[in-house]
Structure 1
Amino acid sequence: MTGATPEPTQAATDAGRPAVAGVALTDLSAGVGTVLWALAASVGVLTQVERALALAPLVVVPLGIGLAADGGFDARSGRLLTAATIVQPVGAALFLASLVLPSGPPAALAAAAWIPVTGALAFAGLSRALDRGLRPLSETLVDAGLAYVPVAAVALVAFHLGITLWFEPVIVLLTAVHFHYAGFALPVLAGVTGRRLGGSGGLFRPIAAVVAVGPAIVAVGISFSPLVEVVAVGAFTVAVATFGVLALVRVVPHLSPLPAAFVGLSALALPASMLLALGYGVAAFTGTDPLGLDVSTMVSLHGSLNAYGFALLGAAGWRLAEESERA
């Protein structure tokens, strides 16, 4: 079944929104996660990559779950989203513990707690997509973000177990980062933005198509083919940068000041981040690196722009927008 989604019922809009003392559990989890992340970062137990990685389950994912729930989840998909919301704080805390522990079976066991959380999210997104069809595209993007995130959990477990296949260990760790941010945060935040743009039409349609499939194709290119990688990264760069501009021009001016500042800065981070990704892809394809975009540079610049500039500010900005509109 395809076509426009009917207006969600109150039961649908409440799915995935368990609360404690009237405060959404996703907000409580993100708040506690912020404190845990700040403590871990301040005592120096995490590397730069691990700091960006830990931010996702502790802060970005719970905020993203809350934003996703606004699209309406009924019956089976709603129960799955609610289950993921309830177990997410425990999974995120163990995820952080896995980064503090030395890599090995105990760290892998702690990281494995994130798999059922992300698995429930994926099944919620897939179930909703099967029930609803591919329209509106804004909700398809949200479902795609939910479906991608288990790849990140599996990648972290593999890293801790030393299962790296033909890759350097850091590439496996960066795969966990990639699928939390490009795989989860980007589609979910693009979908939330698309809700304000009408969901399916105009320039948003091709952007949504590339954002939905781009993370997977880029990962395939990195794994098997520099040519596929550079083509995929090129298309992904154009689509994501255009999305950032579209958000700035069409959406940000209609938000109240504080959310507009957060969402605007988030959108501005995208073109810069994606140009760095394109430069790295071209370097991998040509075998030259005139811009000096090695892995460590990409972690510092591209990774930081994605994690802190785009995902954190974007998720917080849209959450603030929700609150300002409900007030």
Structure 2
Amino acid sequence: MNPQALKAWIRPMLWLAISIQLNLKLEAASLVVIFLLFSMLVLIPLARPTTGRKQALEEFWAVVLAAESFCFEASGGTALMVAGWLIITWRRASTSLLAWQRAGQRDAGSLCLVAADVGPAVGAAWLMAHRANWTPWGFDPLIVLLTAAHFHHAGFTLPWMAGLNAQAKPGRWTSFSCSAVLLGVPIVAVGITCTHFGIFRFVESLGVLILVLGALGVALSHIRRGFEKQCSIWTNFGFILSGVSLSASMLLALGFGLRYLIPQYALTLPQMWSIHGMLNAFGFGMCGLQAWRSSLTRSERPSADQTA
């Protein structure tokens, strides 16, 4: 195995080792932590590879330290173990926002790429709150953890690939998908807060519906791209599997989001984070990002300081 191929396997293998370690220490919510770490350690570097060795090492050890914080009881000390990841994500988000502002582009596609850098920064703040044993607005610690995971997946991989679709195939369809994703993610977050306080429960359902429509647009674009002939068979298969996985996961999300109207179609919360989470992390996230990475030339990939 050549050095480049070996380097590509380091992060996934480390994630697997950490997952095994945490699975022995944590309770039922261990899957949520494992999916969260998968985005931090594998998906984000896959989409946003760092060019500098120093920066790559900083990000790598920040994630490892954040992962190891779950081996201890939540406290101020474990919160400090997440501080490095919080600083890195907020630095990336601010850099992305400034580059987008300088570029002067206001289309939904470029904004989605910026949102993909903002999502993990928001998720890192919730992760730090969880490791500090802080429960904002009285949310259960599990909900705080799920929110951190949500912003590292729905707040990252979904807008990132929606933005790539809009760049590759500009048009009304991809623009609509981007707009729905940009609206859906924050409305769902507001809706969950409203549901928590027992008011305006329809907001969560509305947000989920908008987000599902945007995600299905991304899924159909991936499936369509999978049948194009300019890519290899494995890249095409990755796009198709990514699109099918996202379609399935978002239909499950729709059933859960409408649980107050049609409860018979809603999975339980543990079923959602297991099935919905697995489809999003591995099927949509990993296969989709790898397919995009294979299909785009180096010059076409958004860089750390370029969002469109």
Q: TM-score scaled by structure 2?
A: 0.84
2:281 to 303, 307, 311: 307
1:320 to 283, 294, 298: 294
1:296 aligns with 2:270: yes
How many pairs align?
287
Q: Which whole-Å CA distance do the structure 2 matches of 1:305 and 1:35 have between them?
A: 20
Q: Secondary structure at the match of 1:290?
A: helix
Tell me which amino acid in the other structure corresponds to 1:33.
R
1:217 aligns with 2:200: no
Q: CA deviation at 1:82?
A: 9.6
Q: Which whole-Å CA distance do the structure 2 matches of 1:173 and 1:234 have between them?
A: 23
Provide Cα deviations, 1:95-120, integer angstroms capped at 9, x if missing partner. Answer: 21122333222321112221111011
Number of the residue aligned with 2:81: 110
Conserved 8 A contact 1:118-1:149: yes
Q: CA deviation at 1:59?
A: 0.3
Q: Secondary structure at the match of 1:103?
A: coil
2:48 to 59, 65, 81: 65
Provide Cα deviations, 1:52-103, integer angstroms capped at 9, x if missing partner. Answer: 111011001111213xx8xxxxxxxx9xx99865631121111211223332
Number of the residue aligned with 1:205: 175
Number of the residue aligned with 1:140: 111
Q: Which whole-Å CA distance do the structure 2 matches of 1:95 and 1:122 have between them?
A: 19
- Which deviates more, 315-324 or 34-43? 315-324
Number of the residue aligned with 2:167: 195
- Aligned identity (percent) is 30
* Structure 2 segments unaligned to the other structure (5+ residues): 195-199, 301-308
Number of the residue aligned with 2:238: 262
Provide Cα deviations, 1:284-310, integer angstroms capped at 9, x if missing partner. Answer: x34x63135221011111111111111
Number of the residue aligned with 2:143: 171
Q: TM-score scaled by structure 1?
A: 0.79
* Structure 1 segments unaligned to the other structure (5+ residues): 1-21, 70-77
- Which deviates more, 242-251 or 202-211? 242-251
Number of the residue aligned with 1:243: 218
Tell me which amino acid in the other structure corresponds to 2:287.
L
Q: Which whole-Å CA distance do the structure 1 matches of 2:299 and 2:115 have between them?
A: 26
- Which deviates more, 162-171 or 230-239? 162-171
Q: Which whole-Å CA distance do the structure 1 matches of 2:54 and 2:185 have between them?
A: 26
Q: CA deviation at 1:202?
A: 2.2
Q: CA deviation at 1:161?
A: 1.6
Tell me which amino acid in the other structure corresponds to 1:280.
F
- Which deviates more, 41-50 or 217-226? 41-50
Note closer, same or farther for the CA distance 1:64–1:99 as it changes in structure 2 (3 Å cut): farther
- Which deviates more, 175-184 or 234-243? 234-243
Conserved 8 A contact 2:222-2:242: no
